[in-house]
A and B are shown apart, each in its own frame.
Chain A
């Protein structure tokens, strides 16, 4: 009896939760600037499509070099991040390890790169570090959770003694290793996307030439680069394997050393300039007031726009995910139709939001609309793909019905909890990306951070990056609370593990 009651009250609260989210998104939508400001979007879109179907590599050596750099940054970054993340995950019960990991991942790759560029210039060291640090934070978190989920009996059966390391390696690591490998493969896919995005701010990856090609309207060249990115992401499943990595990783580090020419004096100067200006100048009262007022304005405007846009993007993502997930569900499509449907989702998933936003900005003109669309398509495709996959495990509906009825009365209700769990989980990521898209001109926090770097006000840049990190950590905390409160089933409280590992689930050896 009480079980039934709880079921009903939970369902009602889920409905209320969804309602509030949708309502807030509607309010945000009313306040957001979502105008199509380009007078003739169709024309640009036709030119792009024509280019897409006539890919052309303009300069072969340049293309090869950019592709190798993209892969090298990603491979080196993920290798270092996985190594450091593994070390950190072993201490994940300790609060300092959790805080360190959260801090590292709350700053986006692009912002890390903007910081490192100041010290190390446009070098391999900047690119690899910018990927390593945030990825290390994410990997430490997921590895840590994977270590918590394994069977704890072997670890408690053997006394740790003095050999803490061998205790860890023999009793805990082997049980989590398979899941860790799958997750690392997924991170490699993300690293390739990040590596491409770093090109947009000046590092010599594919993104560098892609930005040029898109900006100057050379869509055939852009198409070739875009297809290269897709090919890199898809080919991962063939070459990102232990046997190959034993050779590829050393090769990458030897052929493309992670180095930079830098000077201590430069570093010291940069660090000094990161100290807030009033502190550097002994708090002159009037100037400090003006500075604080000006900083406060940027923080308020940036945060407001970031939250506004992220909220719109979150709910649009959710809608798109629900509507698109049947494309990959055995309840609705099968055979070739399903493969094609999932193919569309995979293409959308493989292109970074930053790149999609750049393309939509060209087509639709400047406003928040391109960013909202970019995030909806990318994140919605990820969630849609996973939901569809989960639906395979559901039994056939008890009452036969048409596709629309099945969708509304069986498919959505059955998957709803899982769906919400995924959406909450992507919330933090959507805020991270929303902030970064400001670099492309929408007045979110990234816009002000980019401006601060532009005028070499590193103190302001660092403070704004800090505000952004705090915003992301707050969203993370809130989403964890909501998940715990509304989604009671234990596997749903931690969707991160499933979201990301499911993409690369391989059968256990011998299973």
Chain B
């Protein structure tokens, strides 16, 4: 019993020390679009970089799903987030006043690859053809731009039908790394994947070209961006948003940029994503009704 009380006293004092340590914190998150270990490696470097540039404590908060990233942003658990095109639109609708401040150079003309397992017998083509009918197909996350929105849009354009009616089985793998793994293993015959994640996997030797290959590429669209809450200056001091934007645009650290992979960051604003918003509305993902 005595030991228990000692333990209790210790924990209470630890709790109060932790409470004293409350300084304004700057936290950011990112949509979990691929392997978590890779994300932690990438965003820990970003946190260190921003911490040095902005002279505040910067934390990266890993999350489990796309809506989790949006919810954390909406509830002010994070003030900045690396969103995809669609999740960014959703987040900015949920938090009035928030803004897209920077995107990767490559995000101005992003692409989705359709990849197929060798056993499906599909050849690379200029357009989506009837050979896809009856195959099994996996998207990435339900809320992904490159893994769900754009591939679904183009499938509906080409076939005039919902994906569930084109394919014999439709799944949501959860993220792009998993899509590659599932199609490579043959669990799904065809999948839609973010081209940047795919090319990085190819460079790292994680893709076996005998088993899985690209069969179609979507037209380009705008994707990932850094989005910041509108009230960030009030929380972290006047001019913070400006300094943050500058820090992101001036990021030249090769190791961080390669981890994304992006060649550099360029300015962005909310209007860049209007086309994404319209596409999402067109296939019924965004409208309230």
- Chain A positions near chain B (C-beta within 8 angstroms): 33, 37-40, 117-122, 200-202, 208, 211-212, 215-216, 243-244, 247, 250-251, 254-255, 257, 261-263, 266, 277-278, 280-281, 287-288, 290-291, 294, 365-366, 441, 450-451, 453-457
- Complex partner residue of A454 from B66, B94, B185, B186, CB under 8 angstroms: B66
CB-based contact B285/A455 at 8 Å: yes
CA distance A161 to B15 in the complex (A): 46
Contact B289 A277 (CB under 8 A): yes
Contacts of B236 in A (CB 8 A): none
Residues from 224 to 246 in B contacting A, C-beta threshold 8 Å = none
Size category of the B interface is 35 or more
Indicate whether B222 reaches chain A with its CB closer than 8 angstroms.
no
Q: B282 within 8 Å of A by Cβ?
A: no
- In angstroms, how far is the closest chain B Cβ from the Cβ of A122? 7
Given A212-B36, A277-B289: A456 in contact with B67 (beta carbons within 8 A): yes
Whether A122 contacts B12 by the Cβ 8 Å rule is no
When C-beta atoms are compared, the residue in chain A nearest to B177 turns out to be A216
**Residue in contact with B185 in the complex, picked from A39, A215, A244, CB distance below 8 Å:** A39
Find out whether the CB atom of A121 lies under 8 angstroms from the CB atom of B171: no
- B-chain residues with CB within 8 Å of residue A441 when the two chains form the complex: 171-172
CB B289 to nearest CB in A, in angstroms, measures 5
- Residues of B within 8 Å of A290, CB to CB, are 289
Residue in chain B with minimal CB distance to A58: B37
Provide the residues of chain A in CB contact with B70, threshold 8 Å: 456
Q: How far is the CA of A356 from the CA of B170 in the complex (A)?
A: 22
A37 touches B136 (CB 8 A): yes
Q: Judge whether B169 and A262 touch: CB under 8 Å.
A: no
User: Nearest residue in A to B185 (C-beta to C-beta)?
Assistant: A39
Stretch in contact with the other chain, from B2-10, B103-111, B262-270: B2-10
Among the 9-residue stretches B46-54, B72-80, B124-132, the one with 4 or more Cβ atoms under 8 Å from chain A is: B72-80
Cross-chain contact B136 with A202 (CB below 8 angstroms): no
Given contacts A216-B36, A254-B11, whether A39 and B64 have CB atoms under 8 Å apart is no
Tell me if B63 counts as interface (CB < 8 A to partner A).
yes
- Find chain B residues with CB under 8 A from A118 CB: 71, 74
- Chain B residues near A251: list those with CB within 8 A: 7-8, 11-12
Chain B residues near A38 (CB-CB < 8 A): 185-187
Bound-state CA distance A200–B68 (Å) is 12
- Pick from B8, B67, B178: contact of A215, CB below 8 A: B178
**A261 and B187 contact, CB distance less than 8 A:** no
Q: What string of 1s and 0s marks CB contacts (under 8 Å) between B61-99 and chain A?
A: 001111110111011110000000000001000100000
Least CB separation from B138: chain A residue: A366
Interface presence of B253 (CB below 8 A)? no
How far is it, in angstroms, between the C-alpha of A266 and the C-alpha of B5 when the chains are bound? 40
B288 touches A457 (CB 8 A): yes
Known: A212-B36, A454-B67, A454-B142. 10 other contacts (CB 8 A): A121-B71, A201-B65, A201-B68, A244-B4, A247-B5, A247-B8, A278-B289, A291-B289, A366-B169, A455-B143
CA distance A33 to B169 in the complex (A): 10
0/1 string, B178-212, CB within 8 A of A gives 1: 10000001111000000000000000000000000
Q: From residue B266, how far is it (CB to closest CB) to chain A in Å?
A: 29
**Given A212-B36, A215-B174, A455-B90, residue A254 in contact with residue B72 (CB < 8 A):** no
Q: Which residues of B contact A455 (CB under 8 A)?
A: 90, 143, 285-286
A367 to chain B: closest residue by CB: B169
> Interface of chain A, helix or strand or loop or mixed?
helix
Instruction: List residues of chain B with CB within 8 A of the CB of A120.
Output: 75
Interface residues of B in 28-52 (CB under 8 A from A): 35-37
The 4 closest A-B pairs by CB, nearest first: A121-B75, A202-B64, A39-B186, A255-B11
Among B1-28, those with CB < 8 Å from A are 1, 4-5, 7-8, 11-12, 14-15
A-B contacts, 29 of them at CB < 8 A, read: A33-B169, A38-B186, A117-B71, A119-B75, A122-B71, A122-B77, A200-B64, A202-B63, A202-B65, A212-B36, A215-B178, A216-B37, A244-B4, A250-B8, A251-B7, A251-B11, A255-B11, A257-B15, A262-B75, A266-B74, A280-B288, A290-B289, A441-B171, A450-B142, A453-B67, A454-B142, A455-B286, A456-B67, A456-B70
Given contacts A212-B36, A247-B8, A250-B8, contact A39 B187 (CB under 8 A): yes
List the B residue with the shortest CB-CB distance to A33.
B169
- Scoring B35, B67, B74, B178 by chain A CB atoms within 10 A of each residue's CB, the highest score goes to B67
**Of B35, B71, B187, the contact of A365 (CB 8 Å cutoff):** B187
A304 CA / B70 CA spacing, docked (Å)? 31
- The CA-CA distance from A251 to B4 in the complex, in Å, is 10
Specify which of B4, B65, B169, B185 is in contact with A40 (CB 8 Å cutoff).
B185
Contact A216 B35 (CB under 8 A): yes
Counting chain B CB atoms within 10 Å of each CB, which of A38, A121, A244, A261 scores highest? A121
Query: Which chain A residues border B15 with CB–CB below 8 Å?
Result: 254-255, 257
Contacts of B178 on A, CB cut-off 8 Å? Answer: 215
- Chain B residue numbers with a CB within 8 Å of A216 are 35-37
Residues of B within 8 A of A261 (CB): 75-77
Q: Could you tell me the distance between the alpha carbons of A272 and B171 in the complex, rounded to whole angstroms?
A: 32
Query: With contacts A37-B169, A38-B185 known, is A255 near B14, CB below 8 A?
Result: yes
Chain B residues lying within 8 Å of A215, measured Cβ to Cβ, are 36, 174, 178
Contacts of A122 in B (CB 8 A): 63, 68, 71-72, 77
What is the bound-complex CA distance between A206 and B284, given in angstroms? 36
For B185, list chain A residues within 8 Å (CB).
38-40
Out of B72, B90, B284, B285, name the residue touching A121 (CB < 8 Å): B72
Residue of A nearest to B142 (CB): A454
Residue of A nearest to B187 (CB): A365
Task: State in angstroms the CA–CA spacing of A451 and B139 once bound together.
Answer: 14
Determine the distance from Cα of A339 to Cα of B65 in the docked complex, in whole angstroms.
Answer: 41
The distance from the CB of B114 to the nearest CB of chain A, in whole angstroms, is 19
In whole angstroms, what is the CA distance A290 to B289 when docked? 8
- CB-CB < 8 A to A457: which residues of B? 288
User: Could you mark each residue 142-162 of chain B with 1 if its beta carbon is under 8 Å from any beta carbon of chain A, else 0?
Assistant: 110000000000000000000
In contact, B289 and A287 (Cβ under 8 angstroms)? yes
Evaluate contact between B65 and A366: CB separation under 8 angstroms: no
Docked pose: A403 CA to B54 CA in angstroms: 75
Q: Are A37 and B64 in contact (CB under 8 A)?
A: no
Please indicate the chain A residues that have their CB under 8 angstroms from the CB of B169 in the complex.
33, 37, 366
- Nearest B residue to A442 via CB reads B171
A211 to B36, CA, bound (A): 10
B210–chain A nearest beta-carbon distance, Å = 15
Q: How far is the CA of A244 from the CA of B11 in the complex (A)?
A: 16
Chain B minimum-CB-distance residue to A248: B4
Measured between alpha carbons, how far is A2 from B186 in the docked complex, in Å? Answer: 64
> Shortest Cβ distance from A149 into chain B, in angstroms?
35
Residues of A contacting B12 with CB < 8 Å?
251, 254-255
CB distance from A124 to the nearest CB of B (A): 12
In the complex, A255 Cα to B143 Cα: how many Å? 37
